């Protein structure tokens, strides 16, 4: 399945290209820089690129898509008029399976309910030479790690957790579907040369601390935007002590810090994992150029953060934001102080972050202890394994039986509750309650649709311990639990093999290879789930003159707030239908309400999408004003396509998350930031806003925002942008695809 020929070619040119780049730079290189310079579109580097400032064009080795983003990516690819994907590509059906009654029934229902979408993805995959992973095969990043990721490779994926591949030393970058479309169409892929934050790991984890705690702690240090436009590169003697899947968990969640990617250098655990997953040849080939697949001794980092693994304590982050870190020693006090519900109702283990063999093994080791010590799980326990291969192996080795013995319910190998695909009984009552997950994100309402669910993120081990105790103030390192016999017992730290001793079990992994000569794909014009795309209209400066404010959003506005997932995932292939959810989770700064904004044409309040639609019907374009880190989280380009479709022309933010800013640019929207953050306060509810200076729109040249207030007064201030020449071209043409 993995493309050994391609990997060998990459390795054949890797050393020359890195040497050439090192000569140009005249200094030691971090690994991520080596990978990027080895994948320059121009071939051997002829110039150096300024980190954090200059854009460069790259040639990724492969692309990955999941079902929720692949639909839009393929609909765009169809319009690109190409015959086959120019690079190896895969589609993974993982996001559309609702967790409800257990793996078998849930999968069957998903196959029925989503048959049109799965049929479309499968036939498009075959038509365009793309590998297809059936529903139930596993979660994109776990399957990619098991089958495709390789040290030194460069991959883009239409999912923000693509950096998971950094656990195997591959640079994975999350992008919108339009970027994937370009690369499949044989075009180059553009990225701002990232800054590099080195994270030096020393020591060895002990007791209850896990790799997940490295990134949970780091999230507390850097915050949800602290690594924007940076790569987090891990180095130092502590790396060798972490398994490849543990490394992948760390890299996965770098996305929550805004990082462009995260990566570890080649070492024994990485090679062990490659061998355990049937890729001896890749491990051998990588070891031959090992020094190139690690950072230089004197690598230059923009900043270095030191973490002593031996001192790390288990962390629990949340609720509502993945960077709200609590060390286990202070969690109980924090929970009491903040008044979070103390009872822990559901424990959820899974997601692309933590669903490996080792993760399940560690959770199972606690389950076994619980049974031996006469304890039961007090909370409900739900488990989504990462892949069919992991599930089959865990079942063979008794891990699944151990989990089931404490009442765990095994759901499909899929995202499930992590993306709101969870039919949680009672969620509609919106009661405050606490859950703990091994996922990566915990934005309000994400897992069960209930905005009052306090979701905490932790390692699978901690999820298990909390589930047994049924209490989020429980500290397994110090606290005892009363068992069925009335005795007070303690849980010992969990232990598990990182890799299965008997190798991975044989299983039908759910892969379907493309068929030569597959027919063209058809889309039913009456479908409510799929809709062919019509090109957006090109740029008119007039459109940016008299724009009513659609919404001034206050506080966190992630892609979950802009384009909710959960039940809306069913419309991911139908732009018109999904646009109905536009910004429905964002808080209106003027009335503190969600999904209630002023329609300036009628003076009435309405849903954001309804008001945007009314402006569109009246031939008026509108503008969105927002707070910090707008578009944090997902790669979903729907968050950019929807406003574009509903005639929103510009977004003026205090700051943007990287992937979302690019998505806006790609879809022909104007994304600008306040030069002075306080100017945000000047924007009033009934403003008409103009963006001036677009005739002479040029890189690094600020524009001007003019606010026409209702009382006739006018205020103006400078706004910044990060468009380069190419991106200005996208805006002028109406979208990158038009160009």
Binding partner at 636 among ligand SF4, ligand MIC, none, C-beta below 5 to 8 Å by kind: ligand MIC
Q: Which of 418, 464, 614, 651 binds ligand SF4 (CB under 6 A)?
A: 418
Q: Output the smallest distance, CB 414 to ligand SF4, in A.
A: 8
Q: CB of 657: closest distance to ligand SF4 in angstroms?
A: 15
d(CA 310, CA 469): 26
Strand partners, 234: 199, 264
- Any idea what DSSP says for residue 736? T
Cβ proximity to ligand SF4, 322 vs 514, nearer residue: 322
> Is the separation of the CB atoms in 413 and 136 below 8 Å?
yes
Contact between 509 and 137 under an 8 Å Cβ cutoff? The reply is: yes
Q: Report what 139 binds from ligand MIC, ligand SF4, none; CB cut-off 5-8 Å by kind.
A: ligand SF4
Of 529, 417, 574, nearest to 113 by C-alpha is: 529
Q: What angle do CA 270, 271, 276 make, to 5 degrees?
A: 100
Binding residue (CB under 6 A) for ligand SF4 from 315, 349, 419, 547: 419
**Active centre residues (catalytic):** 94-95, 159, 441, 634, 636
Which residues of this chain interact with ligand MIC, rule CB under 6 A? 68-69, 95, 159-161, 174, 419, 441, 565, 633-636
529 is an interface residue for ligand SF4 by CB under 6 A: no
By a kind-dependent CB cut-off of 5 to 8 A, residue 635 interacts, out of ligand MIC, ligand SF4, none, with: ligand MIC
Rule CB under 6 A: is residue 447 a binding residue for ligand SF4?
A: no
Which CB sits closer to ligand MIC, 175 or 242? Answer: 175
What's the CA angle centered on 486, arms 483 and 492, to 5 degrees? 35
**Binding to ligand SF4 by residue 139, rule CB under 6 A?**
yes
Q: Are 282 and 466 in contact (CB under 8 A)?
A: no
Instruction: Looking at residues 323 to 342 of the shown chain, list those that interact with ligand SF4 (rule: CB under 6 A).
Output: none
User: Going by C-beta distance under 8 Å and a sequence separation of 6 or more, which residues neighbour residue 392?
Assistant: 504, 505, 506, 507
Q: CA 707 to CA 711: how far, in whole Å?
A: 11
DSSP string over 498-566: SS-TT-PPP----EE---TTPPPP---TT-SSB-PPPPPPPP-GGGGTSEEEEEEEES--BHHHHS--G
Stretch that binds ligand SF4, among 77-85, 303-311, 414-422, 569-577 (CB under 6 A): 414-422
- Told to check if 705 binds ligand SF4 by CB under 6 A, we report no
Distances (CA, A) of 256 to 310, 514, 632, 638: 24, 34, 8, 19
Residues in the chain: 739
Say if residues 224 and 256 touch (Cβ distance below 8 Å): yes
Which CB atom, from 29 or from 257, has the smaller least distance to ligand MIC?
257
Count of helix runs (H) and strand runs (E) in the chain: 22, 31
> Please, which residue, 67 or 402, has the CB nearer to ligand SF4?
67
Q: From ligand SF4, ligand MIC, none, which one binds at residue 633 (CB under 5 to 8 Å depending on kind)?
A: ligand MIC
261 binds ligand SF4 (CB under 6 A): no
Shortest CB 161 distance to ligand SF4, Å: 5
**Strand-strand pairing, 230-235 and 261-264:** parallel
**C-beta of 144: minimal distance to ligand MIC in Å?**
13
Positions 95 through 114 that interact with ligand SF4 (CB under 6 A): 95
Task: Tell which one of 33, 159, 213, 543 touches ligand SF4 (CB under 6 A).
Answer: 159
Interaction of residue 352 with ligand SF4, rule CB under 6 A: yes
| Smallest gap from residue 32 Cβ to ligand SF4 (A) | 22
| SS3 category, 456 | strand
Q: Please choose which of ligand SF4, ligand MIC, none residue 69 contacts, taking the beta carbon within 5 to 8 angstroms, the exact cut-off set by kind.
A: ligand MIC
* 126, 147, 249, 351: residue in contact with ligand SF4 (rule CB under 6 A): 351
Phi, psi of 336 (to 5 degrees): -65, -45
Percentages helix, strand, coil for the chain (3-state, rounded to 5) are: 35, 20, 45
Distance of CA 554 to the CA centre of its chain: 23
**Which among ligand SF4, ligand MIC, none contacts residue 142 (Cβ within 5 to 8 A by kind)?**
none
Decide if residue 457 touches ligand SF4 (CB under 6 A): no
Asked if 267 touches ligand SF4 (CB under 6 A), the answer is no
Which residues does 195 contact at the CB level (< 8 Å), separation at least 6? 51, 52, 229, 230, 231, 302, 303
- Convert 316-364 into a string of H (helix), E (strand) and C (coil): EECCCCCCCEEEHHHHHHHHHHHCCCCEEEEEEECCCCCCCHHHHHHHH
Q: How far is the CB of 737 from ligand SF4 (least distance, A)?
A: 24
CB of 436 to ligand MIC, least distance (A): 18
**Rounded to the nearest whole angstrom, what is the least distance from the CB of residue 415 to ligand SF4 in the complex?**
3
Nearer Cβ to ligand SF4, position 160 or 531? Answer: 160
Would you say 66 or 473 has its CB closer to ligand MIC?
66
Distance between CA atoms of 145 and 183, rounded to whole angstroms?
A: 21
The residue (of 2 and 439) whose beta carbon lies closer to ligand SF4 is 439
Buried b (16+ CB within 10 A) or exposed e, 71-99: bbbbbbbbbeeeeebbbbbbbbbbbbbbb
Q: How many residues bind ligand SF4 (CB under 6 A)?
A: 12
What is the nearest approach in angstroms of ligand SF4 to the Cβ of residue 73?
15
Nearest approach in angstroms of CB 661 to ligand MIC is 14
State yes or no: cis peptide before 583, omega within 30 of 0: no
Q: Which does residue 351 bind out of ligand SF4, ligand MIC, none, counting CB within 5 to 8 angstroms by kind?
A: ligand SF4
Contact criterion met (CB below 8 Å) for 179 and 37:
no
Q: Which does 707 bind (CB under 5 to 8 A by kind): ligand MIC, ligand SF4, none?
A: none
Burial per residue of 254-288, b for 16 or more beta-carbon CB atoms within 10 angstroms, e otherwise = bbbbbbbbbbbbbbebbbebbbbbebeebbebbee
Taking the least distance from each CB to ligand SF4, the nearer of 560 and 690 is 560
Contact (Cβ atoms closer than 8 angstroms) between residue 683 and residue 703: no
By beta-carbon proximity to ligand SF4, the closer residue of 161 and 658 is 161
**Residue 707 interacting with ligand SF4 (CB under 6 A):** no
Binding site for ligand SF4 (CB under 6 A): 95, 139-140, 159, 161, 351-352, 415, 418-419, 439-440
């Amino acid at each position: 399945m993995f493309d050994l020929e391609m990997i060998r070619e990459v390795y054949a040119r890797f050393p020359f290209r890195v040497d050439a780049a090192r000569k140009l730079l005249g200094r030691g290189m971090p690994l991520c820089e080596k990978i990027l310079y080895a994948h320059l579109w121009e071939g051997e580097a002829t110039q150096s690129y300024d980190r954090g400032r200059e854009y460069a064009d790259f040639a990724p080795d492969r692309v990955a898509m999941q079902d929720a983003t692949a639909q839009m990516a393929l609909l765009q690819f169809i319009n690109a008029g190409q015959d086959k994907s120019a690079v190896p590509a895969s589609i993974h059906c993982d996001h559309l399976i609702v967790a409800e009654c257990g793996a078998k029934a849930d999968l069957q229902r998903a196959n029925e309910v989503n048959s049109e979408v799965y049929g479309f993805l499968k036939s498009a995959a075959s038509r365009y030479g793309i590998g297809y992973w059936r529903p139930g095969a596993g979660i994109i990043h776990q399957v990619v790690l098991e089958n495709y990721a390789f040290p030194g490779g460069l991959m883009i994926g239409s999912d923000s957790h693509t950096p998971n591949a950094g656990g195997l030393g591959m640079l994975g970058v999350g992008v919108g579907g339009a970027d994937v479309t370009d690369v499949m169409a044989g075009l180059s892929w553009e990225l701002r040369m990232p800054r590099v934050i080195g994270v030096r790991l020393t020591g060895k984890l002990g007791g209850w601390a896990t790799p997940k705690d490295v990134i949970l702690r780091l999230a507390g240090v850097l915050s949800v935007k602290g690594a924007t436009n940076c790569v987090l590169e891990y180095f130092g003697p502590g790396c060798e002590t972490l398994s490849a899947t543990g490394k992948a968990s760390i890299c996965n969640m770098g996305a929550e810090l805004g990082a462009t990617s995260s990566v570890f250098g080649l070492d024994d655990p990485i090679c062990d994992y490659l061998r355990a997953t049937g890729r001896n040849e890749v491990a051998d080939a990588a070891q031959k150029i090992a020094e190139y697949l690690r950072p230089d001794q004197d690598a230059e980092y923009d900043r270095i953060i030191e973490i002593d693994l031996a001192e790390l304590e288990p962390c629990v982050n949340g609720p509502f934001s993945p960077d709200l870190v609590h060390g286990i020693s202070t969690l109980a006090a924090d929970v009491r102080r903040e008044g979070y519900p103390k009872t822990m109702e559901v424990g959820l283990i899974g997601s692309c972050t933590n669903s490996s063999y080792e993760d399940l093994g560690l959770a199972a080791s606690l389950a076994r202890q619980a049974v031996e010590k006469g304890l039961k799980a007090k909370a409900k326990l739900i488990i989504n394994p990462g892949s069919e291969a992991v599930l089959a192996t865990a079942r063979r080795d008794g891990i699944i039986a151990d989990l089931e013995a404490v009442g765990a319910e095994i759901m499909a190998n899929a995202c499930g509750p992590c993306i709101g695909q969870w039919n949680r009984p009672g969620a509609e009552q919106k009661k405050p309650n606490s859950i703990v997950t091994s996922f990566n994100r915990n934005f309000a309402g994400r897992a069960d649709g209930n905005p009052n669910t306090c979701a905490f993120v932790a390692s699978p081990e901690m999820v298990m311990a909390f589930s047994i105790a049924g209490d989020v103030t429980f500290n397994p390192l110090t606290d005892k639990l009363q068992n069925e016999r009335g005795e007070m017992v303690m849980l010992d730290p969990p232990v598990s093999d990182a890799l299965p001793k008997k190798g991975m079990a044989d299983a039908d992994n759910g892969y379907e290879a493309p068929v030569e000569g597959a027919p063209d794909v058809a889309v039913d014009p009456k479908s409510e789930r799929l809709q062919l795309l019509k090109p957006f209209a090109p740029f008119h400066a007039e459109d940016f003159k008299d724009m009513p404010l659609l919404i001034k959003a206050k506080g966190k506005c992630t892609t979950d707030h802009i384009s909710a997932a959960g039940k809306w995932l069913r419309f991911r292939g139908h732009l018109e239908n999904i646009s109905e959810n536009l910004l429905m989770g964002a808080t209106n700064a003027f009335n503190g309400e969600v999904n209630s904004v002023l329609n300036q044409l009628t003076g009435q309040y309405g849903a954001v999408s309804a008001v945007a639609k009314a402006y569109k019907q009246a031939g008026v374009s509108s503008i969105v004003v927002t707070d910090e880190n707008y578009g944090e989280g997902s790669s979903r380009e729907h968050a950019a396509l929807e406003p574009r479709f509903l005639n929103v022309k510009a977004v003026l933010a205090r700051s943007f998350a990287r992937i979302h800013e690019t998505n806006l640019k790609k879809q022909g929207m104007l994304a600008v930031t306040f030069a002075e953050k306080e100017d945000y306060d000047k924007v009033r509810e009934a403003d008409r806003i103009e963006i001036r200076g677009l005739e002479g729109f040029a890189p690094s040249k600020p524009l001007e925002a003019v606010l026409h207030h209702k009382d006739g007064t006018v205020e103006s201030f400078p706004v910044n942008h990060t468009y380069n020449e190419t991106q200005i071209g996208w805006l002028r043409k109406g979208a990158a695809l038009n160009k």
